[in-house]
């Protein structure tokens, strides 16, 4: 998907230049603001500058299937960004397709010695044996190295680079566990393969090593200060509170039940990947609506999405930036969507505020192009307004990660020295102050909707 002049105009018309300077805050990333298709360098520079005035970072894609063209265009954009003193942003996802490429050498091996694939992720994805992929490592790494070396030789510093690496390597969901239990090679590699925890650990360690060698190590070896991350990979508390569009629950796996939700056990993969930025996913998955029975319908969305965001915020060290994938329109993953009500705009924006006040650094908005202007407007309004408090956002410490189990007041805040930046969002009729205890001191937070408030501790 290329960003053409008519689309540029549409995004510029639906966003405003920043009222407060961004300083050291990371830019806002919008999936459609990627791969600018403008031949005139002066025009390209003007567009990049106009997006920067709105706090939006332009991204360039590396595509090995069209590597000369995408390299040259990426280098051109990167030179302009460097000259303007901006961060160079890269989408490396096409470079990470795919360890599981359908080659028979990647297949599982059955007891009869015959190769087979796990097709439970869709027929287009021939998922093979996690322990038969090592021969693919050099080719996959070279796809990234080609671009990295060119940027390095051109003295163009990569600031932020990400992948959306999902169904492209070992993964433990759907039919993967059953397939591995049939595979002779997997049985040899995983001593207790009938224990899901052992199976998950083995696959996630392999998956993490592939990502590290293919992407993170390759980037960091030339650009040690680059922020490198992947969709859905972030520090956490041992559970995942959401399901991706291709994931199904597997009987026999450890989980925690709440209402209709089954929060799955998750392996601590982030430290093994070598990534330098965390990328949680806070989306309006259709499943969320059916998990909870709150009469306050917005809280069905807000509760789960804040739970995901709080998990990442409390689990990630302050040295690791959190670049959070966000999406507002309902993400429909199946046909059973009768009665689902869209998350309201104002409460979605409240959620974004609470994420910022719980340690998230910036947003990466994903959406299809037909939803883009509305999605961009909502997230940009919050991002732009938050810069009034950039000192808190840059140096403040989150004071609360609680997510109330029933609709009611929700409070988030940052502490900077003896000052507090607070926000309260209410989902019931509570009028009294909410009391927080900070260092033994009680702080009352009044009911004030749609505004941040400052307090002295």
Tokens linked to 59? 């991204």
Q: What is the pLDDT of residue 334?
A: 83
- Closest of 264, 244, 107, 247 to residue 179, by C-alpha: 107
Q: Containing domain of residue 31, as a range? A: 5-396
pLDDT digits (tens, 9 = 90+) for 28-41: 999 999 999 998 99
Q: Round to whole Å and give the CA distance between 287 and 260.
A: 9
301 inside domain: yes
The mean pLDDT of the chain is 96
Q: What is the pLDDT of residue 123?
A: 85
pLDDT digits (tens, 9 = 90+) for 320-342: 999 999 999 999 998 877 789 99
425 inside domain: no
Q: Round to whole Å and give the CA distance between 73 and 60.
A: 8
Measured CA to CA in angstroms, residue 214 lies from 70, 90, 99, 137, 217 at distances of 19, 15, 10, 7, 7
418 inside domain: no
Q: What is the pLDDT of residue 5?
A: 85
Name the E strands within 17-112. Answer: 29-30, 59-61, 88-91, 108-109
pLDDT digits (tens, 9 = 90+) for 423-456: 999 999 999 999 999 999 999 999 999 999 999 9
252 inside domain: yes
SS3 at position 84: coil
pLDDT digits (tens, 9 = 90+) for 23-78: 999 999 999 999 999 989 999 999 999 999 999 999 999 999 999 999 999 999 99
443 inside domain: no
Q: What are phi and psi of 34, to 5 degrees?
A: -150, 140
Q: What are phi and psi of 190, to 5 degrees?
A: -115, 105
Q: What is the pLDDT of residue 337?
A: 77
Pairing of strands 323-326, 281-282: parallel
336 inside domain: yes
Tell me the percentage of the chain whose pLDDT exceeds 70.
Answer: 100
- Closest of 394, 389, 392, 431 to residue 409, by C-alpha: 431
SS3 at position 37: coil
List strands edge to edge, sheet with 323-326: 29-30, 362-365, 323-326, 281-282
Q: What is the pLDDT of residue 338?
A: 78
pLDDT digits (tens, 9 = 90+) for 236-278: 999 999 999 999 999 999 999 999 999 999 999 999 999 999 9
How deeply is 179 buried, as exposed, middle or buried, from its count of CB atoms within 10 A (0-12, 13-18, 19+)? buried
Q: How many helices (H) and strands (E) does the chain have?
A: 14, 19
Contacts of 271 (CB under 8 A, 6+ apart): none
Question: What pLDDT band is residue 186 in, cutting at 50, 70 and 90?
Answer: very high
Q: Give the mean model confidence (pLDDT) for residues 113-125.
A: 94
How deeply is 25 buried, as exposed, middle or buried, from its count of CB atoms within 10 A (0-12, 13-18, 19+)? middle
Q: Give the mean model confidence (pLDDT) for residues 381-394.
A: 98
Q: How many separate domains does the chain show?
A: 1
Q: Any idea what the CATH number is for the domain that residue 313 is in? A: 3.20.20
Q: Round to whole Å and give the CA distance between 230 and 225.
A: 16
366-401 burial string, b = 16+ CB within 10 Å, else e? Answer: bbeeeebbebbebbbebbbbbbebbebbeebebbbb
Q: Round to whole Å and give the CA distance between 348 and 21.
A: 24
pLDDT digits (tens, 9 = 90+) for 148-166: 999 999 999 999 999 999 9
143 inside domain: yes
404 inside domain: no
Q: What is the pLDDT of residue 1?
A: 66
Q: What is the pLDDT of residue 232?
A: 98
- Are 375 and 20 in contact by the 8 Å Cβ rule? The answer is no
Q: Give the mean model confidence (pLDDT) for residues 368-378.
A: 95
Rg from Cα positions in the chain: 23
Tokens linked to 409? 């007041």
């Amino acid at each position: 998907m290329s960003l053409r002049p008519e689309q540029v105009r549409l995004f510029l018309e639906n966003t405003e230049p920043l009222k407060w300077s961004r300083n050291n805050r990371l830019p806002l990333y919008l999936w459609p603001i990627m791969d600018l298709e403008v031949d005139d360098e002066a025009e390209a520079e003007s567009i990049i500058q106009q997006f920067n005035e709105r706090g939006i970072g332009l991204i360039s894609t590396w595509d090995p299937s069209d590597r000369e063209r995408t390299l040259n265009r990426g280098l051109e954009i990167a030179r302009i960004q460097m000259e303007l003193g901006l961060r160079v942003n890269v989408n490396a996802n096409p470079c990470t397709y795919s360890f599981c490429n359908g080659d028979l050498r990647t297949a599982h091996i059955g007891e009869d010695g015959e190769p087979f694939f796990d097709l439970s992720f869709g027929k287009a994805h021939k998922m093979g044996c996690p322990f038969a992929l090592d021969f693919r490592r050099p080719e996959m790494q070279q796809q990234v190295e080609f671009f990295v070396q060119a940027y390095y030789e051109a003295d163009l510093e990569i600031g932020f680079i990400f992948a959306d690496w999902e169904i492209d390597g070992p993964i433990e969901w759907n039919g993967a566990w059953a397939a591995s239990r049939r595979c002779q090679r997997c049985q040899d590699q995983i001593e207790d393969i009938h224990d899901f925890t052992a199976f998950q650990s083995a696959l996630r360690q392999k998956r993490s090593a592939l990502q590290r060698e293919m992407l993170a190590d390759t980037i960091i070896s030339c650009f040690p200060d680059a922020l490198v991350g992947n969709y859905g990979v972030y520090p956490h508390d041992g559970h995942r509170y959401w399901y991706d569009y291709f994931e199904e629950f597997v009987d026999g796996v450890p989980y925690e039940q709440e209402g209709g939700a089954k929060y799955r056990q998750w392996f601590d993969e982030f430290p093994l990947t070598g990534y330098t930025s965390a990328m949680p996913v806070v989306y309006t998955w259709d499943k969320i609506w059916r998990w909870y029975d709150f009469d306050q319908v917005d809280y069905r969305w807000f509760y789960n999405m804040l739970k995901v965001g709080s998990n990442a915020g409390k689990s990630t060290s302050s040295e690791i930036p959190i670049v959070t994938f966000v999406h507002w329109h309902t993400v429909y993953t199946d046909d059973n969507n009768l009665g689902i009500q869209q998350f309201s705009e104002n409460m979605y924006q409240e959620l974004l505020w609470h994420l910022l006040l719980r340690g998230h650094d910036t947003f990466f908005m994903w959406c299809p192009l037909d939803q883009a202007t509305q999605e961009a407007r909502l997230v940009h309004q919050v991002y732009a307004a938050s810069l009034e408090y950039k000192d808190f956002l840059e140096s403040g410490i989150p004071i609360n990660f609680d997510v109330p189990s029933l609709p009611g007041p929700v409070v988030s805040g940052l502490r900077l020295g003896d000052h507090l930046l607070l926000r309260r969002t209410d989902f019931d009729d509570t009028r009294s102050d909410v009391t927080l205890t900070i260092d033994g001191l009680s702080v009352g937070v009044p009911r004030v909707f749609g505004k941040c408030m400052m307090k002295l501790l």
